[in-house]
Every structure is written in C-alpha cells, then in structure tokens.
Amino acid sequence: MRKHIYLFLLAIFTLYPLGIQAQTLWQKSEYGMTAEQVKKLFPDAVHPKETFINEEGEAELLELNEITIVDEPFHVSFLFKDGGLTRVTLLLEGKKKFSEAFYVFEKLTKALRAKYGSELTSKVERGFLNLAKSSWLSHKTNIELTAMGVEAAGAAALFLNYGVKLSAEVDKL
C-alpha cells in the first residue's frame, strides 16, 4: 500500500509542472502576458499610432518594426484581449508581387519545418486570387503562415500568426 501511495505522489509531482507551464507564442512571449510584460521582454516594442481591433476583439497594443527573419523585414504585432496576450502576428513589410511573397513563404516554410516538423495542413491555390497557406501545432500554439495576392495587380501580403484558436477548441473535446 505504501508503495502505491509513493508512486501516486511521484506521478502527481512529476506531472504537475506540465500543467502550469506557460504557453509560448512567438520567441519568448507567452499567452496571457500583459502589455507591460511583453514590453519588458521586447524593449523596442512601441505602442502603435492607431490601435487596431480585429473581428475577434483582439487589440494591437504593441508593435515591433523591422524584425529580420529569413533575410526579410517583418512588422510584429502583439494582440491582446481582456488584458492578456492572445496572438502575435508577423507581417512581411514592403510592396510585393505574389511571386515575391510566395518565395518568402517557401523560405519561411523551410524554417518552420526545421523548428516544428511537417505542416499539419498545406495548400496552394492559383487563380485571380493566389493563396498559399500552411499550419503547424506546437504544444498548444497554432502557427499559421499565409501568403495571398493578385499577381496582375502587384499586390500581395504574407503573414505569420502565432495563437491558440484551434487549441482552445481541442481542449473542449
């Protein structure tokens, strides 16, 4: 009986830290951090001139400019809801054609595969509106890479999101 109690307590104390680990989003930012905590982690982060609020009620309270990833410049947005960090979005800076954005998409995909393994989903659609999209899951963080644009118009966007949208739904199962 004593052996069973010992094993039970050992299991509790071994597994307990797993439940209280913070959920990392991008770099060392963690889900639920306050704006002040993010600012301390990223001292170059500034408050945007205008606060953007997306359809999910997340507000961009901090941003970083000119972060270089895969030799390309990105703008980083930290989005908060109810006082806590919920999403980090990296947006490729500069005017790009879809073919140029897709080239960066491919470079980022290789880097993300090296870090997180193979994609969970991946698709490329070509037409009037070109779209390339891939996603990964790291612990409970959803990583979504998207490039979209109209080649003829010379307009494209590429963004990389770190959030918890899918993971929150999985926890309900």
Residue 90 has φ and ψ, to the nearest 5°, of: -110, 125
Among 43, 62, 92, where does a domain finish?
92
Write the burial class of residue 9 (CB in 10 Å: 0-12 exposed, 13-18 middle, 19+ buried). Answer: exposed
Residues 81 and 149 in one domain: no
Residues of the domain holding 42? 28-92
Residues 71 and 130 in one domain: no
- Alpha carbon dihedral 21, 173, 59, 36, in 10-degree steps, equals -10
Residues 87 and 111 in one domain: no
Please tell me the total count of domains within the chain.
2
Among 92, 122, 141, where does a domain finish?
92
pLDDT of residue 7: 31
Note the pLDDT tens digit of each residue in 59-81: 999 999 989 999 999 999 999 99
Among 60, 92, 124, where does a domain finish?
92
pTM summary value = 0.81
- 2: pLDDT strictly greater than 50: no
Note the pLDDT tens digit of each residue in 17-53: 334 356 889 999 999 999 999 999 999 999 999 988 9
Instruction: Say which amino acid occupies 123.
Output: K
Note the pLDDT tens digit of each residue in 137-152: 998 899 999 999 997 8
For residue 14, being part of any structural domain is answered with no
For residue 60, being part of any structural domain is answered with yes
Residues 103 and 73 in one domain: no
Name the token pair of 63: 């941003």
Residues 86 and 108 in one domain: no
